[in-house]
Amino acid sequence: MKNILFLFLLLQFTSCNSQHSFKSIGPVDFEKGLSQPGIQLVDVRTTEEYGDKHIANAVNINIDGDNFEAEMKRLDKNKPTYIYCLAGSRSAKASDWAWSNGFKQVYNLEEGVNSWIKSGKPLVDAKGETIRRTKGMTFDEYLKRIKSSDKLVLVDFNAVWCGPCKTLKPIVLRIAKKYSTKVDLLDIDVDMHADVSNTMNIQSIPMLLVYKQGKEVWRNLGLVDEDVLDDKLKELSN
C-alpha cells in the first residue's frame, strides 16, 4: 500500500512539474503577446544581427556574451518575457535559463526571426526605422538556377551581419573565379532571400552547397580552408 501511495505521489509531482516551463509559440501568437502592456522583449542574437534588423522595442542581450546572465537579471522576473533569435535554438536556451532562474512567464519565438519574416511581420533597423522588404528569390527560381546550369553550382548562404561569412566570402570568390568555366556561383543572402533559406531550412551560416546536374553533392557548414574547397571543386568537376 505504501508503495502504491509513493508511486501516486511521484506521478502527481512529475506530471505537475512537466507543465511548468517556458512556452514556444509561433509568430502570430508571439505578435499578439507583444501587443500587451508591460511585457519584456529580448533579442538574444549578436550585436551585429540586432543592428542589421530586429523586432521593434526589443532589448539586445547576447546569449553568448559575457554579461548575458547579469543583464537578464536586471529584467523584471514578474513581467511576461518574450525571447527570440534567428532560428529558435539560442532563444530556447535563453528561455530555459530564464525559466530556471525565476521568470514567471517566458515565451520563445519558434524558428525565430526566420519565421517572423516568413509570416510577413515587420522589422526595424538600427535607427528604429521599419525595413522595406525586397521580394528576393523564390524557391522555384532557386531550383531553376540550379537545374538549368550545365556546370557545378556553388551556393553560398550568408548574411551581412555574419562575421564568418565575411571571412569566407573572398575565399569563395577566388575559387569561383578560378573555376569560372566549370562552376557557377550563386550568392544567397539569407535575409534578402528568406523564401529560399527558410525552405532549405538554413539555420546556421555560412553554409556552402555544391550541386551537380541539379543534385546536391556536397555541403559544408562554417568556415572551410581554401585548399579544401579547391580540391573538392576540382574533384567534383572531373
Known catalytic residue at 16: no
8 A C-beta contact, residue 105 and residue 81? yes
Q: Which of 87, 162, 175, 205 is catalytic?
A: 162
Q: Which three cell numbers stand for residue 51?
A: 543592428
Read off φ and ψ for residue 164, nearest 5 degrees: -60, -30
Query: CA quadruple 154, 158, 160, 164: dihedral positive or negative?
Result: negative
Q: Which of 165, 168, 175, 183 is catalytic?
A: 165
Known catalytic residue at 165: yes
**Under 8 Å CB-to-CB from 184, ≥6 apart: which residues?**
145, 149, 151, 152, 153, 154
Helix (H, G, I), strand (E, B) or coil at 24: strand
Q: Which three cell numbers stand for residue 205?
A: 551560416
Which of 22, 33, 20 is CA-nearest to residue 95? 22
User: Catalytic residues, which ones?
Assistant: 162, 165
